[in-house]
Amino acid sequence: MAQPKKDMWPFLLNLKEKNIQQVVFVSLIGVEKNPMTPHHKIEKMIKELALPYTFIRPSFFMQNLNTTHQKDIQEDHDLFIPAGHAKTSFIDTRDIGEVAAICLTSKEYLNREIEITGPKALTYDEVAEIMTKELQVPITYSKPSLLAFRKAMLARKIPKDYVNVMVMLYFITRLGNAKKVTNTLAEILKHPATDFKTYVKDYREDFL
């Protein structure tokens, strides 16, 4: 996804040729204000091709912690994340999947942009506090700079394009663009969004 023109354009052209009835694209909250993100470029491509669409714009995935950032949490008990003191309205990907399934089976959300978030915006200090309590292991938040984070990720041989996208997203977070909270998810699913404490309990084994 780091190179939308190369990775996504041929796929979208194929969808156009097949007269696909709907594209449900999981994008990014606030993407309309951030033209440099790949998500913005992909949304633009979909609209340029006049594909029937639903753009699901979620906030930051909770599950990034037990995937992308799992190594630091498991080995160092640290959130090595360059988000500064900014708040993030973390969302559980299981909730996103439920929303996507509903959007795919209902015409109600055709040609709409849907912003969904978790129930509360948290700082990473608050995240560390919740994880410490639920895991019964002291979790710290080291607040690395964007440059230090980028250097560390590249040293781990993570692809440069992917690292650059992560740095861009955390830069956006630092600007305060990840703290928005909406009730849209609960309205669509008819039940509350999963809170961060529940997520940590459910994925406990991934962190230890």
The 10s digit of each residue's pLDDT in 135-158 is 999 999 999 999 999 999 999 999
- Return d(Cα 195, Cα 60) in angstroms, integer: 13
What domains can be seen in the chain, in order of their start residue?
A: 4-197 (3.40.50.720)
The answer, yes or no, to whether residue 11 has pLDDT greater than 80, is: yes
Question: pLDDT by residue (tens digit) across 51-76?
Answer: 999 999 999 999 999 999 999 999 99
Residue located via tokens 């509350």: 192
Q: What is the pLDDT of residue 101?
A: 97
Band of residue 33 on the pLDDT scale cut at 50, 70, 90:
confident
| Single-letter amino acid code for the residue at 19 | N
Closest CA to 73 of 138, 12, 8: 138
- Return d(Cα 78, Cα 104) in angstroms, integer: 38
Q: What is the pLDDT of residue 2?
A: 61
| Single-letter amino acid code for the residue at 138 | P
Closest CA to 109 of 147, 53, 65: 53
Residue 26: phi, psi to the nearest 5? -85, 105
Band of residue 1 on the pLDDT scale cut at 50, 70, 90:
low
Q: CB-based contacts of 118: which residues, under 8 Å, 6+ apart?
A: 59, 62, 89, 90, 91, 92, 95, 181, 193, 194, 195, 196
User: Mean pLDDT for the chain?
Assistant: 94
Q: CB-based contacts of 151: which residues, under 8 Å, 6+ apart?
A: none
